[in-house]
Amino acid sequence: MRALLSRAPGGPETLELAEVPDPAPAAGQVAVAVRACAMNYPDVLIIEDKYQFRPERPFAPGGEIAGTVAALGEGVTGWQVGDRVIGMVGHGGLAEQVLVPAASLYRLPEGRSFAEGASLILTYATTIHALLDRGRLQAGQRLLVLGAAGGVGLAAIELGKAFGAHVVAAVSSDEKAAAATAAGADETIVYPRAPFDKDQSKALADRFKAAGGRAGFDVIYDPVGGDYAEPALRSIAWEGRYLVVGFPAGIPRLPLNLTLLKSCDVCGVFWGAFAARDPQANAAHVDRLFRLWEEGRIGPRVTETFSLERGGDAIAKMAGRGAIGKLVVEVG
């Protein structure tokens, strides 16, 4: 089979398309013939050895896939060869076949494309965990979403609206603002590109404060980091929750006196660890996501597809923060 491999740390230009043996499923595993693999920011980091996990090389990046069951390992029940599935793999998705623990598979609903299926779990499960478990978001509260036109950003808009929040989407261009509005955002803010000097940071904080109203934002969803974090934090409500989701703009240093003045929480969001530690709670969230998807209240927005040969281009676009919605590599 073909796979797009990382043989040494580096950017997407270092990935190599190679022929490798088909994988054989062990007990409890399923071999999935990959049809689509969605790209996420961890794919940028993992090939540079900057992610929380460093797989043994060579490996293929790509953490969420959709395809069909190709073979079953010993003891696997509930699945048959040919079933349409969604799988979470961490890495290995940019290959024509990948091994997935049977417990990590979800059934792809009829009428949904492989590209849509590959784009659902990571972004929406991260976001529902962030908003409900860490952010304790309630109907009628105000939610600020940074980086709101990316995969997790659009998921936060949709889920925020599904849970009854007033959603303000912050983005870096008019095109991204239009995507956020189409996803249901009540208001949009187009901010300039960082880095910011002191005056620029204050000006952005003032814009966030104006959008947050007199009380401020109850929940701030931040998958961006960098120089955007402090201005956003300054707009938080009393006892608000600031959700730390990712750092494509850099790891910020927050003035902790602000947390005292607002009596607010800064909450880390690590969905993978949550899912591993509390699989029942995660399964309940995923079940809810599938219901919302069926009802049409959420839905992955696949804006561009790439061939396996061009998988590195998809990762490069993620690295350049140019993606709107989800980028998907069509494998099979």
Q: List pLDDT tens digits, range 12-40.
A: 999 999 999 999 999 999 999 999 999 99
Dump pLDDT digits (tens) for 305-329.
999 999 999 999 998 887 899 999 9
pLDDT at position 53: 82
Among candidate residues 145, 148, 98, 133, the one with its CA nearest the CA of residue 118: 98
DSSP 223: S
* For the chain, domain boundaries: 2-120+300-330, 122-272
Beta strands per DSSP E along 11-125: 16-19, 29-38, 64-72, 84-88, 97-101, 105-107
CB 226 within 8 Å of CB 252: yes
328: helix, strand or coil: strand
Angle between helices 151-162 and 121-128 (to 10 degrees): 50
For residues 12 and 60, give the distance between their C-alpha atoms in angstroms, rounded to a whole number.
Answer: 11
- Is the pLDDT at 99 greater than 90? The verdict is yes
Fold of 2-120+300-330: Quinone Oxidoreductase; Chain A, domain 1 (3.90.180)
- Is the pLDDT at 86 greater than 90? The verdict is yes
**Averaged pLDDT, 127-134:** 98
pLDDT > 70 in the chain, percent: 100
Dump pLDDT digits (tens) for 208-252.
999 999 999 999 999 999 999 999 999 999 999 999 999 888 999
pLDDT at position 96: 98
pLDDT at position 127: 98
**Averaged pLDDT, 112-127:** 97
- Is the pLDDT at 92 greater than 90? The verdict is yes
Which value, to the nearest 10 degrees, does the dihedral of the CA atoms of residues 134, 159, 146, 115 take?
110
Which value, to the nearest 10 degrees, does the dihedral of the CA atoms of residues 103, 104, 108, 112 take?
170
292: helix, strand or coil: helix
Helix, strand, coil share of the chain (percent; to 5): 35, 25, 40
Angle between helices 174-182 and 151-162 (to 10 degrees): 40
For residues 129 and 19, give the distance between their C-alpha atoms in angstroms, rounded to a whole number.
Answer: 38
- Is the pLDDT at 85 greater than 90? The verdict is yes
For residues 100 and 76, give the distance between their C-alpha atoms in angstroms, rounded to a whole number.
Answer: 11
Dump pLDDT digits (tens) for 275-299.
999 999 999 999 999 999 999 999 9
CATH number of the domain at 122-272, out of 3.10.50.40, 3.40.50.10860, 3.40.50.720, 1.10.10.10? 3.40.50.720
pLDDT at position 52: 81
pLDDT at position 262: 95
Q: For all residues of the chain together, what is the average pLDDT?
A: 96
- Is the pLDDT at 106 greater than 90? The verdict is yes
